[in-house]
């Protein structure tokens, strides 16, 4: 009904002519009828006509009233306002452009960031009733262990599953890499081993075939079946519908394919492509792992029973934990009992999947972008106020000519809404573009930046968040309406006579700066807050950029340029294979050096080990980084020898076993003693249980970073890969040839040796360095971007206020110039006002930054949150830009022509 | 009959009369005026100047609707018609009016 009315009225806009004519026709009919009647009663035609018209009275008014009802005067007025508004906006292109861009940036940037934040940590997990899913840790996460949630041993998991009442279902999972074998092109696949309850628990069903059965959950290593992820099914099996029943070989074990999973599902870590039953651990992991209550390797999720709260379930866990401890006693003896809390701990799956560090990063970005929005709003407000103030005369004239105050306000409202709508629409575009930008510059997937949570979704499906867009749009609208109307309200209260007489506002009352009109304080406040907020952003960006610079100057302890890394992984590493491969690769053209190692710098150690030193009675030392490497490893990576020697081709099986340690080990383990010649015993060394127990330290090398580059290097030891240790997989090559060419050549050599060994994760060390710094770079880039926008906006804000102030003081300045004030004096006079605003803003901003930027601490490297350099440079930069924005209006002031100024009324 | 020959309309009663007139069937503006006059046996004076604004007002309230038609003398005329909502309104206003008349009558009798 209501809608039909509006539609009729809108129609009326296009048919206003017709409507007028229809009304005239109708009234004419009436008059004609009356005339006929009158003539019938004996009047003369003239008399009849006159009488008919007289009876009507004011014909025009009746026509107008009819038109109001039929045609919609209301909408016509809106249309008129819109056209007038558009004309006003077009007539002030600078104002319009700045206001629209400001709004678009504010709305767009905020929407984009919020869309991403929502995508990576807020939206519910894409499972059935995700709010009832929980992660079950074996014990409380231990901050000392890097807060890694403790994994479960299979027998303990069984007890939990069978003896807790709070859960509708409990499932275990674990993900590892295995080789896809038995094909022409071997590949490393991420395989998630899961209990049969896993898929029903999540509410995931196979799109072809079935998921795992309870039968397949019982006997270790018997029913070897597998499910394919959608992407693997597409990629390796050409989306073959007949794939069910075929086999897929993982580490040379054949698995029968029983189903295909829906697209987008990639397991709990968000990267799996194949699923196998937990029982396959018997062949894929080591034999007996499933029965070992001390081998901790699986994670557990559960679905709460309907009506059971997290707290109730947690309370039950105390009993379950006790039962597990009674069944498998003694596990608490390895550590001081106080450190062990063996009560299973629950956490909502959603929050368990969001890394607190990443959450903080995004909250910081969200806060920063909100500041940008605030600045944008302040800027829009200030622009609208400035323009409103400049139009006081126009308003006064319109009021004097009989426009109602309501009509005037409606006009201004229309203008503001028009601005907000255009700005909002552009803002949606900016948001789309911003999301694209964020996706392109997002930290690398390998940088451990994205949580398994983010990966649980298809990352590229980040959409514009309509709620955020609506919210920001309404904010823009509210700003526009509020500050657009303020001048109108003021104008409607003003004395029309005075306003018209006073002209551009100034007159002689305006000698005190900042108090020239009633809205000046409001506008000054807006500009001061703009500058303050911008300074906070600038300082944040400065701190991040300085951190990034610091990260790049960190001594990595090796030379990353021209290093290419490839992984060639065998289920049971054969030294022979690697020696042959190395020999062949060294012969390839363009290879400066080549080596193999169990890992490489920045990839993490292959293992951490306990170690003891011969002749020492003190405790074993824990957490020593351990790697086995070939003789040329140090040369290939540019790790410098400090003392002694590195491995040689003579350090083979049969020769005395030797070790190389890093400087950190030399300093912290041997503490001034000469390490060379000392005998040490690393526990992970497979020969530890058998043969020779101790190896001799023969060399000391520089500290190469294996872990996070912002952390200090811990003691590391290297053993020689030719004196076999397990897990040799990384092939490292130094060459200035194109990495792709090298990789292709190496792949040919690998294939020639063993076609079941895949060559994977080919990357240059420079890429890896970029990866590990990508989070800092990402945050620095965004904060830098925001700070740039903020700087621009506040410059515009200052310019707007100063321009207005100068134009308002035209008469005053004219008199001063007429009385002999020099250019310099006028310039100083105007700049002094500007400086007062800028100075106030900078002080407020610096104090705010000093008090609040503590929140950045976790993101900063080697830079304090109150870094004096940044706190000095950022305000200076802002001051220069702001002063520059003042300068143009000030210059204009000196050009004031006294004659024009005095006559300007 | 004493005093004025024709009674002036009380404020707001025109709407009621128009609705009543249209309840007998669709009619154009002129006809509505005529019909009211006839029903009042020429004792009421309808200002033609206020008839049309009233018609438009009622149309806006959707108690009546209008469309072009052909008049009894074969001319193009705008015909008004009561809507169901208008019929309901007519009942309400009729009741109100009866109560009003009753009340006024009581007051006048006591005087």
DSSP calls for B39-73: HTTT-B---HHHHHHHHHHHHHTTSEEEEEEE-TT
- Cβ pair A69:B60 closer than 8 A: yes
Spatial separation of the C-alpha atoms in residues A691 and A164, rounded to whole Å: 47
Q: Decide: A152 and A300 in contact? Cβ < 8 Å.
A: yes
How many CA atoms are closer than 13 Å to the CA of A289, on its beta-carbon side? Answer: 17
Instruction: Give the Å distances, CA to CA, from A828 to A792, A821, A891.
Output: 24, 11, 10
Q: Decide: A838 and A519 in contact? Cβ < 8 Å.
A: no
pLDDT on residue A552: 82
State the CB neighbour count (10 A cutoff) for residue B62: 15
Question: Going by C-beta distance under 8 Å and a sequence separation of 6 or more, which residues neighbour residue A311?
Answer: none
What is the H or E stretch that residue A296 is in? none
Give the end-to-end CA distance of chain A in Å, rounded to a whole number.
53
Chain B partners within 8 Å of A57 (Cβ): 47-49
Nearest CA-CA distance, residue B46 and chain A, Å: 10
- Cβ pair A62:B62 closer than 8 A: no
Spatial separation of the C-alpha atoms in residues A886 and A879, rounded to whole Å: 10
- Cβ pair B59:A1 closer than 8 A: no
- DSSP conformation letters of A540-560: HHHHHHHHHHHHHHS--SS--
Residue of A nearest to B46 (CA): A55
pLDDT on residue A459: 45
Tell me the percentage of chain B whose pLDDT exceeds 90. Answer: 25
For residues B34 and A504, the model is more confident at B34
Chain A partners within 8 Å of B58 (Cβ): none
Nearest CA-CA distance, residue A25 and chain B, Å: 8
Q: Decide: A784 and A548 in contact? Cβ < 8 Å.
A: no
Among B15, B42, B45, B49, pick the best mutation site for testing chain A contact (most A Cβ within 10 A). Answer: B49
Residue of B nearest to A5 (CA): B60
Among B31, B35, B56, B79, pick the best mutation site for testing chain A contact (most A Cβ within 10 A). Answer: B56
Nearest CA-CA distance, residue B100 and chain A, Å: 30
Chain B partners within 8 Å of A28 (Cβ): none
Of A29, A66, A68, Cβ closest to residue B28: A29
How many CA atoms are closer than 13 Å to the CA of B101, on its beta-carbon side? Answer: 7
- CATH architecture for segment(s) B13-110: Orthogonal Bundle (1.10)
**Domains of chain A, residue spans:** 2-77, 92-125+355-503, 130-352, 524-552+766-905, 570-757
Which residues 31-70 in chain B show a CB within 8 A of chain A?
A: 47-49, 52-53, 56-57, 59-60, 62, 68
Residue of B nearest to A33 (CA): B30
Q: Decide: A645 and A698 in contact? Cβ < 8 Å.
A: yes
- A–B CB contacts, 8 A cutoff, strictly below: 54
Residue of A nearest to B61 (CA): A69
- Cβ pair A29:B71 closer than 8 A: yes
- Cβ pair A32:B71 closer than 8 A: no
Spatial separation of the C-alpha atoms in residues B7 and B17, rounded to whole Å: 14
Nearest CA-CA distance, residue B42 and chain A, Å: 15
Spatial separation of the C-alpha atoms in residues A203 and A704, rounded to whole Å: 46
Nearest CA-CA distance, residue B110 and chain A, Å: 39
Q: Which residues is A565 bridged to in the sheet? A: A732, A763
Burial of residue A113 (number of CB atoms within 10 Å: 0-12, 13-18, 19+): buried
Of B28, B49, B68, Cβ closest to residue A56: B49
- Cβ pair B53:A66 closer than 8 A: yes
Spatial separation of the C-alpha atoms in residues B31 and B51, rounded to whole Å: 11
User: At B7, is the pLDDT very low, low, confident or very high (cuts 50, 70, 90)?
Assistant: low
Nearest CA-CA distance, residue B67 and chain A, Å: 11
Of A22, A29, A68, Cβ closest to residue B30: A29
Interface of A with B (CB under 8 A): 1, 22, 25-27, 29-30, 32-34, 55-58, 62, 65-66, 68-70
The sign of the torsion formed by the CA atoms of B96, B99, B103, B105 equals positive
pLDDT on residue A700: 94
State the CB neighbour count (10 A cutoff) for residue A493: 9
With tokens 């597998």, the residue in question is: A226
Residue of B nearest to A32 (CA): B30
- DSSP conformation letters of A420-465: HHHHHHHHHHHHHHHHHHHHHHSPPGGGT-S-HHHHHS-GGG----
- Cβ pair A66:B52 closer than 8 A: yes
With tokens 């006073």, the residue in question is: A502
Q: Decide: B3 and B40 in contact? Cβ < 8 Å.
A: no
Q: Which of A116, A25, A605, A98 is nearest to A387 (CA)?
A: A98
Which residues 81-100 in chain B show a CB within 8 A of chain A?
A: none
Q: Decide: A362 and A461 in contact? Cβ < 8 Å.
A: no
pLDDT on residue B54: 87
Q: Decide: A894 and A823 in contact? Cβ < 8 Å.
A: yes
- DSSP conformation letters of A78-115: HHHHHHHHHHHHHHSHHHHHHHHHHHHHHHHHHHHHHH
- Cβ pair B52:A1 closer than 8 A: no
Q: Decide: A511 and A851 in contact? Cβ < 8 Å.
A: no
Q: Decide: A735 and A562 in contact? Cβ < 8 Å.
A: yes
Give the end-to-end CA distance of chain B in Å, rounded to a whole number.
21
**Domains of chain B, residue spans:** 13-110
Nearest CA-CA distance, residue B94 and chain A, Å: 25
What is the H or E stretch that residue A290 is in? none
Spatial separation of the C-alpha atoms in residues A518 and A500, rounded to whole Å: 17
Q: Quick one: three-class SS letters along A606-627? A: CEEEEEEECCCCCCCEEEEEEE
Tens digits of per-residue pLDDT, A836-873? 888 999 999 999 999 888 888 877 878 888 889 999 99
Q: Which of A255, A269, A259, A205 is nearest to A228 (CA)?
A: A259
Residue of A nearest to B72 (CA): A33
Chain B partners within 8 Å of A41 (Cβ): none
Alpha carbon A713 to chain centroid distance? 29
pLDDT on residue A686: 57
Which regions in chain A score pLDDT beneath 70? 1-17, 70-75, 140-149, 330-342, 357, 443-462, 490-520, 617-620, 684-693, 724-728, 901-905
Q: Decide: A273 and A264 in contact? Cβ < 8 Å.
A: no
Of A29, A34, A69, Cβ closest to residue B75: A29
For residues B97 and A778, the model is more confident at B97
In A296-333, which positions are buried (b, 16+ CB within 10 angstroms) versus exposed (e)? bbbbbbbbbeeeeeeeebbebbeebbebbbeeeeebee
Alpha carbon A782 to chain centroid distance? 9
The residue-averaged pLDDT of B60-88 equals 89
Spatial separation of the C-alpha atoms in residues A153 and A299, rounded to whole Å: 9
Among A21, A33, A34, A38, pick the best mutation site for testing chain B contact (most B Cβ within 10 A). Answer: A33
Of B48, B60, B78, Cβ closest to residue A26: B78
Spatial separation of the C-alpha atoms in residues A265 and A229, rounded to whole Å: 7
In A184-193, which positions are buried (b, 16+ CB within 10 angstroms) versus exposed (e)? eebbbbbbbb
Alpha carbon A24 to chain centroid distance? 65
Spatial separation of the C-alpha atoms in residues B3 and A680, rounded to whole Å: 132
- Cβ pair B77:A29 closer than 8 A: yes
Helix boundaries (H) for A92-223 = 93-117, 154-163, 198-202
Spatial separation of the C-alpha atoms in residues A514 and A518, rounded to whole Å: 9
Chain B partners within 8 Å of A29 (Cβ): 28-30, 71, 75-78
Q: Which of A602, A833, A598 is nearest to A717 (CA)?
A: A598
pLDDT on residue A270: 79
Residue of B nearest to A30 (CA): B30
pLDDT on residue A509: 36
């Amino acid at each position: 009904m209501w809608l039909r009315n509006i539609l009729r009225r809108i129609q009326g806009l296009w048919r206003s002519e017709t409507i007028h004519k229809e009304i005239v026709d109708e009234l004419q009919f009436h008059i004609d009828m009356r005339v006929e009647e009158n003539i019938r009663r004996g009047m003369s035609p003239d008399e009849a006509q006159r009488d008919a018209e007289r009876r009507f009275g004011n014909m025009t008014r009746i026509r107008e009233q009819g038109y109001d009802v039929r045609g919609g005067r209301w909408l016509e007025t809106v249309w008129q306002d819109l056209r007038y508004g558009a004309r006003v906006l077009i007539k002030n292109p600078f104002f319009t452009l700045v206001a629209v861009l400001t709004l678009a940036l504010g709305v767009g940037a905020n929407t984009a960031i919020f869309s991403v934040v929502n995508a990576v940590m807020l939206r519910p997990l894409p499972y059935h009733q995700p709010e009832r899913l929980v992660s079950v840790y074996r014990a409380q996460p231990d901050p000392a262990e890097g807060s890694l949630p403790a994994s479960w041993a299979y027998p303990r998991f069984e007890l939990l599953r069978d003896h807790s009442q709070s859960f509708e279902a409990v499932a275990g999972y674990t993900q590892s890499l295995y080789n896809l074998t038995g094909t022409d092109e071997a590949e490393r696949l991420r395989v998630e081993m899961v209990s049969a309850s896993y898929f029903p628990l999540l509410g995931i069903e196979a799109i072809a075939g079935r998921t795992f059965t309870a039968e397949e959950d019982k006997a270790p290593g018997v029913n070897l079946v597998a499910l394919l992820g959608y992407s693997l099914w597409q990629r390796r099996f050409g989306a073959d519908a007949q794939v069910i029943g075929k086999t897929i070989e993982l580490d040379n074990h054949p698995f029968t394919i029983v189903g295909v999973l829906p697209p987008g599902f990639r397991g709990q870590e968000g990267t799996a492509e194949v699923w196998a039953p937990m029982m396959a651990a018997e062949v894929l992991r080591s034999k007996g792992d499933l029965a070992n209550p001390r081998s901790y390797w699986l994670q557990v999720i559960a679905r709460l029973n309907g009506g059971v709260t997290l707290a109730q379930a947690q309370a039950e866990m105390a009993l379950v934990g006790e039962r597990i401890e009674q069944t498998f006693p003694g596990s608490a003896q390895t550590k001081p009992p106080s450190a062990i809390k063996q009560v299973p701990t629950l956490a909502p799956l959603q929050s368990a999947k969001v890394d607190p560090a990443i959450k903080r990063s995004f909250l910081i970005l969200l806060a920063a972008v909100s500041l940008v929005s605030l600045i944008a709003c302040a800027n829009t407000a200030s622009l609208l106020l400035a323009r409103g103030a400049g139009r006081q005369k126009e308003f006064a004239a319109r009021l004097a000519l009989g426009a109602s105050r309501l009509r005037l306000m409606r006009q201004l409202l229309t203008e503001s809404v028009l601005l907000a709508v255009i700005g909002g629409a552009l803002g949606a575009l900016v948001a789309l573009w911003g999301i694209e930008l964020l996706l392109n510059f997002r930290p690398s997937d390998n940088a451990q930046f994205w949580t398994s949570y983010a990966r649980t979704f298809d990352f590229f499906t980040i959409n514009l968040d309509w709620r955020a867009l609506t919210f920001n749009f309404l904010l823009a609208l509210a700003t526009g309406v509020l500050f657009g109307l303020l001048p109108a309200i003021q104008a409607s209260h003003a004395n029309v006579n005075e306003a018209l007489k006073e002209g551009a506002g100034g007159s002689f009352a305006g000698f005190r700066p900042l108090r020239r009109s009633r809205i000046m304080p409001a506008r000054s406040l807006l500009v001061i807050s703009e500058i303050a907020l911008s300074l906070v952003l600038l300082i944040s960006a400065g701190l991040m950029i300085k951190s990034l610079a610091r990260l790049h100057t960190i001594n990595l302890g090796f030379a990353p340029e021209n290093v290419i890394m490839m992984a060639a992984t065998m289920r049971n590493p054969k030294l022979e294979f690697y020696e042959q491969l190395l020999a062949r690769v060294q012969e390839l053209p363009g290879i400066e050096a080549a080596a193999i190692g169990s890992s490489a710098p920045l990839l993490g150690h292959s293992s951490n080990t306990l170690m003891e030193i011969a002749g020492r009675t003190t405790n074993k030392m824990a957490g020593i980084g351990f790697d086995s490497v070939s003789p040329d490893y140090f040369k290939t990576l540019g790790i410098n020898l400090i003392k002694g020697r590195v491995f040689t081709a003579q350090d083979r099986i049969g020769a005395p076993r030797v070790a190389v340690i890093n400087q950190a080990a030399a300093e912290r383990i041997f503490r001034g003693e000469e390490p060379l010649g000392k005998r040490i015993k690393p526990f992970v060394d497979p020969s530890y249980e058998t043969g020779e127990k101790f190896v001799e330290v023969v060399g000391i090398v520089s500290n190469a970073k294996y872990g996070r580059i912002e952390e200090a290097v811990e003691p590391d030891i290297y053993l020689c890969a030719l004196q076999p240790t397990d897990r040799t997989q990384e092939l490292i090559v130094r060459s200035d040839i194109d990495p792709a060419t090298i990789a292709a050549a190496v792949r040919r050599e690998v294939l020639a040796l063993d076609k079941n060994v895949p060559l994977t994760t080919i990357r240059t060390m420079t890429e890896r360095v970029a990866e590990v710094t990508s989070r800092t770079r990402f945050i620095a880039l965004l904060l830098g971007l925001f700070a740039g926008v903020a700087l621009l906006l506040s410059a515009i804000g200052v310019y707007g206020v100063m321009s207005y102030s100068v134009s308002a003081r035209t008469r005053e300045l004219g008199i001063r110039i007429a009385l002999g004030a020099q250019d310099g004096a006028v310039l100083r006079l105007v700049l002094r006002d500007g400086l007062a605003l800028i100075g106030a803003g900078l002080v407020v901003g610096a104090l705010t930054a000093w008090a609040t930027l503590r929140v950045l601490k976790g993101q900063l490297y080697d830079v304090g949150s109150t870094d004096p350099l940044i706190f000095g440079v950022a305000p200076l930069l802002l001051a220069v830009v702001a002063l520059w924005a003042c300068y143009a209006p000030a210059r204009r002031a000196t050009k004031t022509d006294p004659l024009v100024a005095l006559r300007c009324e | 009959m004493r005093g004025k020959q024709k009674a002036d309309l009380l404020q707001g009663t025109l709407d009621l009369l128009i609705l009543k007139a249209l309840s007998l069937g669709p009619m154009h503006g002129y006809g509505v005026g005529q019909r009211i006059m006839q029903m009042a046996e020429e004792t009421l004076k309808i200002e033609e100047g206020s008839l049309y604004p009233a018609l438009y007002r009622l149309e806006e309230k959707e108690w009546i609707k209008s469309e072009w038609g052909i008049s009894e003398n074969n001319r193009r005329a705008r015909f008004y018609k009561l809507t169901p909502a208008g019929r309901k309104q007519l009942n309400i206003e009729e009741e109100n009016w009866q109560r009003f008349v009753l009340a006024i009558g009581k007051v006048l009798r006591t005087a």
